[in-house]
């Protein structure tokens, strides 16, 4: 099957959306689809495909086609999809989906947030009545529930499915405990603390850096290792940490997505201290609907997860595979970390269960379920194309 993924997500970037798009395209390719990613150029000097594969840790290349970054991008991409005889267009963009369906292409549309604009609602209503739309995919149950209750009748029964984000398990399977130890050696943290607690991700308000800054002065025997952050946010947090003389928070900055698995493996504990409201890139609150990529990476790493006890995270986590803590109760977070120090065997049992539970969230499994639950059968056909991947 010839699949085109159309997105306006900037690639490469420091945001999780780029990782999600690239890993989905890899999974489509690995599942037998001949896959082309169509994206706007992010700069005058766009990295070549090889650079992107290394940056995102892609082992199964797929085609990438760049377009000028202007208002005509979506139309140009859809027309190009028609010219290259795409069987299916996969997208997170409601305008791309609408154009593709209007011009006769089969479509799967994925939602990551609640639609709010009146014109988006109108487009969804039109798409739901189209024979060209195979499926509406939602990344969390809470998002689907609110979408269906906010706009009754738009999404008929059988047209929707819930598929959380995923993880590339093969990458984690290749990483050993020795690789994690070597990572700590390189940054000078080996045997320096009783426990290394890691956090990977952005530093936006509500992501949880506030909790880590409150914990660190109360737990000098724990090293808090923080990876990620936009340059301006990282600079701001480093300035505050230094001014408060918090010496056990180690901020190592942005890691290429390909390097995050080793980081996760290096930590004894991985923290997911999301608050009820989480600021998204570019603004807005995604706290109620988020499906954090790092959650699945944490689960795959074999390290213990301590996460905020929030309904959207409980869609994946529970008392058998993680420690769940009230989001803003710093004392509870401290007590839980102390528990890990004194109960390592019980902590290991939770981490083993998380590793077992995450198998269903491999990107390839996600693709198989999405294509397999379409409201009309999608013609599975592996194109025997020997063209060189660009």
pLDDT in tens, 188-228: 887 889 999 999 999 988 999 999 999 999 999 999 999 99
Identify the pLDDT of residue 158: 86
Identify the pLDDT of residue 286: 79
Beta-carbon contacts of residue 21 (< 8 Å; ≥ 6 apart): 5, 7, 9, 11, 37, 92
What is d(CA 318, CA 315) in angstroms, rounded to the nearest whole number?
A: 8
CA atoms within 13 A on the CB side of 223: 19
Distance of CA 390 to the CA centre of its chain: 25
What is d(CA 252, CA 342) in angstroms, rounded to the nearest whole number?
A: 28
Identify the pLDDT of residue 378: 54
- 3-state class of 23 per DSSP? helix
Residue 90 near residue 28 (C-beta atoms within 8 A):
yes
Ramachandran quadrant class, 85 (left: phi over 0; alpha: psi -120 to 50; beta: rest): left
Query: Which residues of the chain are under the pLDDT cut of 50?
Result: 375-377, 379-390
Residue 237 near residue 209 (C-beta atoms within 8 A):
yes
Identify the pLDDT of residue 385: 38
The domains of the chain, with CATH numbers, are 2-166+362-372 (3.40.50.2000), 169-360 (3.40.50.2000)
Residue 277 near residue 285 (C-beta atoms within 8 A):
yes
Identify the pLDDT of residue 326: 97
């Amino acid at each position: 099957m010839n699949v085109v993924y159309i997105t306006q997500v900037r690639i490469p970037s420091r945001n999780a959306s780029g990782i999600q798009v690239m890993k989905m395209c890899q999974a489509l390719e690995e599942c037998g689809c001949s896959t082309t990613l169509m994206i706007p150029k992010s700069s005058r000097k766009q990295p070549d495909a090889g650079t992107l594969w290394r940056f995102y840790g892609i082992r199964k290349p797929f085609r990438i086609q760049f377009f000028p970054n202007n208002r005509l991008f979506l139309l140009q991409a859809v027309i190009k999809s028609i010219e290259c005889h795409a069987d299916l267009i996969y997208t997170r963009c409601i305008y791309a989906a609408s154009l593709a369906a209007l011009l006769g292409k089969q479509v799967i549309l994925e939602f990551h947030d609640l639609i709010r604009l009146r014109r988006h609602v109108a487009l969804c209503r039109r798409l739901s009545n189209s024979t060209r739309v195979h499926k509406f995919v939602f990344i969390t149950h809470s998002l689907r529930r609110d979408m269906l209750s906010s706009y009754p009748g738009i999404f008929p029964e059988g047209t929707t499915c819930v598929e959380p984000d995923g993880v590339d398990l093969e990458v984690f399977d290749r990483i050993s405990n020795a690789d994690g130890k070597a990572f700590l050696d390189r940054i000078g943290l080996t045997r320096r603390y009783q426990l290394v607690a890691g956090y990977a991700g952005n530093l936006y308000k509500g992501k949880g850096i506030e909790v880590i800054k409150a914990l660190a002065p109360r737990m000098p025997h724990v090293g808090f290792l923080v990876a990620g952050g936009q340059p301006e946010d990282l600079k701001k947090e480093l300035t505050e940490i230094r001014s408060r003389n918090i010496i056990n928070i180690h901020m190592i900055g942005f890691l290429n997505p390909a390097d995050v698995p080793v980081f996760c493996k290096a930590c004894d504990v991985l923290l997911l201290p999301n608050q009820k409201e989480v600021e998204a890139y570019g603004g807005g609150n995604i706290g109620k609907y988020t499906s954090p990529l790092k959650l699945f990476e944490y689960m795959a790493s074999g390290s213990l997860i301590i996460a905020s006890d929030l309904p959207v995270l409980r869609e994946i986590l529970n008392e058998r595979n993680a420690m769940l803590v009230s989001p803003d109760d710093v004392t509870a977070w401290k007590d839980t970390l102390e528990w890990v120090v004194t109960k390592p065997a019980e902590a290991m049992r939770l981490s083993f269960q998380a590793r077992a539970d995450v198998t269903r969230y491999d990107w390839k499994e996600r693709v198989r379920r999405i294509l397999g639950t379409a409201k009309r059968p999608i013609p599975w056909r592996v194109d025997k194309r020997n063209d060189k991947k660009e």
